[in-house]
Amino acid sequence: MPSGAPDGTAHAGGPLDCPGCRTPMRRVDLDRKHHGRVVVDLCNACQALWFDALESLHLSPVGTLALFRAIHAARPEARRALPSRVSCPRCDTPLTLTHDLQRTTRFSYYRCRHGHGRFTPFLQFLREKDFVRPVPPDELKRLKKLVRIIRCSSCGAPVDLERATACGYCRAPIVVLDPDAVTKAIRQLDTAETHAAPPDQNAAGFLEAARFEREMKREQARGSQGSMVDLVSVGIGVLAAALFARG
């Protein structure tokens, strides 16, 4: 009989082993909708999250933005590819790759068939929350002036912006963090704060923002994979800077 209880509550005990690399994950304590706490497990090396049962749906806006901070802090210098077999940290059965739909956004994760939870890469979590969007042609032109080769946010392969609008390896489109969606989330957080202001970038000018360019250069400087940057990671850096500035 599989161990663990798929009840969606914060779990007790020590850290879980990552389904990908099998090293202990970091536990992140987050705010839950209505009341209580949600504990999510995060693997820095695999850039992925473990959600027990329905934990992802239980995150409040405060909890979601706090998880953004944790994802930003977890960025490794090198991306580790997930193995072909990932197992449930609770019952050790192989996880099943699952494709899902949230409103009009497709995303994927690895789920336990016994209901213990799911293993979700960072990018897929952002898709689920509608925080990323494809780069339209006009923004792509501006982006090419800043950088030529980027790293695919989905698989980590290089993408030459002069020649492609999607990854040649996994076929994922080029995506960026959607500032409109982020602004909406922060406004939810700010409903009781009359003095608070939303981030200083909007969807039309996001790629032109000086903060975005500074974060891109910072990402290039810290990377061990040449000068390639991950646009979603850069966007998370911009958002994290705005959140940190808020205290």
4-27: pLDDT as tens digits: 444 444 455 678 999 999 999 999
Please give the pLDDT value at position 119: 98
The whole-angstrom separation of Cα 247 and Cα 243 is 7
Please check whether residue 202 is in contact with residue 56, taking contact to mean a CB–CB distance below 8 angstroms.
Answer: no
Please give the pLDDT value at position 189: 58
Taking the model in full, what pTM does it have?
0.76
Please check whether residue 32 is in contact with residue 3, taking contact to mean a CB–CB distance below 8 angstroms.
Answer: no
Please check whether residue 185 is in contact with residue 176, taking contact to mean a CB–CB distance below 8 angstroms.
Answer: no
Query: For the chain, which residues score pLDDT lower than 50?
Result: 1-10, 192-205, 207-208, 224-225
The whole-angstrom separation of Cα 164 and Cα 157 is 13
Q: What is the per-residue burial (b if ≥16 Cβ within 10 Å, else e) of 134-168?
A: ebeeebeeebeebbeebbbbbbbeebebeeeeebe
Between the two ends of the chain, the Cα-to-Cα distance in Å is: 46
CA distances from 26 to 29, 39, 107, 122, 192 (A): 10, 10, 23, 14, 31
Please give the pLDDT value at position 3: 47
Amino acid letter, residue 103:
R
Q: What is the per-residue burial (b if ≥16 Cβ within 10 Å, else e) of 207-239?
A: bebebbbebbeebeeebeeeebbbbbbbbbbbb
Please check whether residue 240 is in contact with residue 68, taking contact to mean a CB–CB distance below 8 angstroms.
Answer: yes
Please give the pLDDT value at position 114: 96
Classify residue 48 as exposed, middle or buried by CB count within 10 Å of its CB (0-12, 13-18, 19+). buried
The whole-angstrom separation of Cα 182 and Cα 129 is 10
Structure tokens, 184: 């909406």
Structure tokens, 130: 């509608």
The whole-angstrom separation of Cα 42 and Cα 130 is 20
DSSP-H helix ranges across 83-205: 122-128, 137-146, 179-189
Question: Domain residues of the chain, as ranges?
Answer: 26-128, 132-245
